């Protein structure tokens, strides 16, 4: 397995099979993860490029249709304790 130094590609590869019920949510997750990876240690607001991206991230995290288990199970084998 090769590891990508490109955070956008890493995020796409990591979350491409996340079952979030809509492919747009999966793309949003990858975009959000890439931005956060590029700005480690910074807040969500500092990590994102525009007010529209910030609002999209907030909508993503508030979306009750998204199961947090579905987002994390594809991230390096992490598992949530229940």
pLDDT of 74 reads 59
The class level of CATH for 7-72 reads mainly alpha
Q: Read off the tokens for 18.
A: 């996340």
Give the whole-angstrom CA distance, residue 22 versus residue 32.
16
Give the whole-angstrom CA distance, residue 63 versus residue 57.
10
Contacts of 19 (CB under 8 A, 6+ apart): 70
With 60 as the cut, is the pLDDT of residue 77 above it? no
Single out the residue of 3, 10, 50 nearest to residue 30, CA to CA: 10
The pTM of this model reads 0.76
Task: Give, as one character, the DSSP assignment of residue 7.
Answer: H
With 60 as the cut, is the pLDDT of residue 81 above it? no
What are 13-61's pLDDT values in tens digits? Answer: 888 888 888 999 999 999 999 999 999 999 999 999 899 999 999 999 9
């Amino acid at each position: 397995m090769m590891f990508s130094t490109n955070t956008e590609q890493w995020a796409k590869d990591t979350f491409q099979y996340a079952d979030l019920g809509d492919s747009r949510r999966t793309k949003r997750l990858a975009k959000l993860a890439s931005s956060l990876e590029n700005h480690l240690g910074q807040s969500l607001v500092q990590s994102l490029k525009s007010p529209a991206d910030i609002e999209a991230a907030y909508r993503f995290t508030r979306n009750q249709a998204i199961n947090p288990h579905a987002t994390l199970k594809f991230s390096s084998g992490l598992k949530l304790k229940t």
